[in-house]
């Protein structure tokens, strides 16, 4: 990988007082330009205004550092002949999409804190971790080059988290010839042998069903801090999964939550990182990019992540039923799904999709999306005598859209599902009622479960519905 035009970014930690990082960038131009900081990060479809974490922004001209002025909330004017741009960024947050540092860790998501040139998104990046000792491990999908780490362009650097520390736990395994790495930062870590074996199992199963793995390597970066957190963020050849407090990883519940998130995030390697809605192809980090297809991006992934745990034997049938009951409990108890469709709720994640929001307004792309995915899966199996399933459609979407990197429309998605089901209108009612519409899905769910040999019931307990799935 050689790129004549690359932005060099040097990073060092500031540990006296509130944890911060100082970044110094050299842009390959003498011309004036506006430097942009991303306003959102893929994986969380809302505006996050990362500029709120910037303490200072300066430019160096003729050896003199001066503050840069803003042209918009997220852009700074860089004058002609600026030799370097230097900024200080708050680095005290340890979730799966943030940036945090300490005596024993440097954890960076460039999409929070890296500037880019909006007119030159093809420029590469050369990242130098100035104060990371040579005996630390550096976990990242970026390409090493001497003392630096290289990214091809803006899309690549913004998709490439870096986790460095003196005591990262590390294991690796191979699936379909591809090297997979597991890295863990945290005081307490899960049962190593079981953890690696389960990763191997769900990885083998997913690759078998897609036919190939889309990246030359893959890194699971686990951040297990001593605070309450639980989620993951997907990247093309990496995922970051955060769970805390770290001791939770040694409980059965915490262990299975990590494995559940890991299977979900690996599935994203195909679905959303490559099979991707047109609105996010490529990502525009400078503005909100609403899409109605969150039910594919997150719903299908939520459903498939758990299904592959069952498929690979990590979960037994009862285990899968308990996981799906959790989703169904959230589904039936949320009246918002009867007010705003999951497609409209997807578009609106940019308003309040990751907060409770006003009561009864909206559905969840994860929950309602997973329920819809299950109904689509059963419909395709019913119509094809179980010769095909939703996974057959996802593999086709990977081959027709993901691999050639063609952004997907709603019409594309439903056309492929219908094609796999064997009729051009095979799933039209599901789309009308449960993707674009707000119909109650209960009767359809009971019937789909029954077809699967399962009995779905619900009872009212303390003012809430509780669902039970059991063998019929």
Binding site for Zn ion (CB under 5 A): 298, 301
Nearest-approach distance from CB 144 to Zn ion, in angstroms: 28
CA distance 315 to 287: 40
Cβ atoms of 112 and 99 closer than 8 Å: yes
* Count of Cβ atoms closer than 10 Å to residue 356 Cβ: 9
How far the first Cα of the chain sits from its last, in Å, is 57
Tokens of 360: 């009864």
Closest approach of Zn ion to the CB of residue 205, in Å: 18
Alpha carbons 420 and 416: distance in angstroms, whole number: 6
For Zn ion, give the closer residue by CB, 20 or 219. Answer: 219
Is 22 or 237 the residue whose CB approaches Zn ion more closely? 237
Contact 111, 41 (CB under 8 A): yes
Residue 431 CB, nearest distance to Zn ion (Å)? 21
Specify the residue, 153 or 265, whose C-beta has the smaller distance to Zn ion.
265
Nearest to Zn ion of 198, 265 (CB atom): 265
What is the smallest separation between the CB atom of 228 and Zn ion, expressed in angstroms? 20
SS (H, E, C) 108-152: ECHHHHCCECCCCCCCEEEEEECCCCCCCEEEECCEEECCEEEEC
Angle between helix 390-397 and 367-383 (nearest 10)? 100
Minimum distance from residue 357 beta carbon to Zn ion (Å): 19
* Nearest by Cα to 420 from 382, 462, 469: 382
DSSP reduced 3-state for 77: strand
Give least dist CB 369 to Zn ion, A.
10
Q: Which is nearer to Zn ion, 261 or 328 (CB)?
A: 261
Q: What is each CA distance from 29 to 57, 80, 83, 405, in whole angstroms?
A: 18, 8, 9, 30
Helix axes 442-451, 367-383, angle to 10 degrees: 50
**198 vs 298, beta carbon nearer Zn ion:** 298
CB of 300 to Zn ion, least distance (A): 10
Nearer to Zn ion, 116 or 366 (CB): 366
């Amino acid at each position: 990988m050689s790129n004549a035009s690359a932005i060099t970014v040097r990073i060092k930690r500031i540990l006296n007082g509130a944890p911060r990082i100082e970044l110094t960038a050299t842009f390959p131009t003498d011309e004036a330009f506006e430097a942009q900081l991303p306003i959102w990060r893929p994986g969380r479809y809302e505006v996050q205004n990362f500029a709120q974490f910037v303490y200072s922004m300066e430019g160096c001209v003729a050896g003199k550092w001066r503050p840069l002025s803003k042209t918009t909330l997220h852009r700074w004017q860089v004058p002609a002949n600026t030799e370097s741009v230097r900024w200080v960024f708050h680095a005290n947050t340890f979730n799966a999409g943030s940036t945090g540092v300490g005596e024993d860790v440097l954890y960076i998501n460039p999409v929070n804190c890296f500037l880019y040139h909006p007119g030159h998104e093809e420029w590469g990046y050369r990242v130098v971790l100035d104060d990371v000792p040579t005996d630390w491990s550096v976990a990242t999908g970026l390409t090493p080059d001497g003392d630096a780490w290289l990214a091809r362009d803006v899309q690549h650097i913004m998709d490439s988290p870096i986790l460095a520390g003196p005591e990262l736990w590390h294991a690796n395994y191979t699936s379909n010839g591809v090297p997979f790495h597991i890295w863990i930062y945290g005081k307490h870590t899960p049962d190593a042998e079981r953890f690696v074996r389960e990763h191997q199992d769900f990885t083998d199963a997913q690759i078998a069903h897609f036919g190939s793995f889309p990246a030359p390597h893959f890194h699971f970066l686990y951040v297990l801090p001593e605070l309450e957190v639980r989620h993951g963020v997907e990247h093309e050849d990496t995922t970051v999964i955060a769970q805390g407090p770290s001791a939770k990883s040694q409980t059965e519940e915490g262990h299975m939550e990590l494995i559940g998130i890991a299977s979900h995030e690996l599935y994203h390697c195909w679905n959303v990182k490559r099979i991707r809605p047109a609105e996010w192809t490529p990502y525009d980090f400078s503005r909100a990019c609403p899409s109605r297809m969150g039910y594919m991006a997150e719903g299908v992934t939520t459903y498939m992540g758990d299904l592959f745990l069952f498929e690979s034997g990590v979960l037994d049938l009862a285990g899968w039923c308990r996981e799906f009951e959790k989703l169904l409990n959230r589904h039936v108890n949320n009246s918002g799904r009867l007010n705003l469709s999951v497609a409209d709720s997807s578009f609106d994640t940019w308003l309040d999709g990751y907060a409770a929001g006003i009561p009864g307004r909206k559905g969840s792309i994860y929950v309602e999306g997973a329920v819809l995915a299950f109904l689509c899966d059963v419909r395709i199996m019913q119509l094809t005598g179980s010769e095909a399933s939703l996974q057959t459609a996802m593999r086709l979407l990977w081959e027709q859209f993901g691999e050639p990197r063609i952004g997907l429309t709603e019409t594309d998605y439903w056309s492929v599902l219908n094609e796999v089901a064997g009729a051009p209108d095979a799933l039209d009612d599901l789309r009308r009622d449960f993707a674009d519409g707000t119909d109650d899905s209960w009767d359809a769910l009971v019937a789909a479960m029954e077809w699967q040999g399962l009995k779905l019931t619900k009872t009212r307990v303390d003012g809430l519905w509780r669902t039970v799935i059991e063998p019929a």
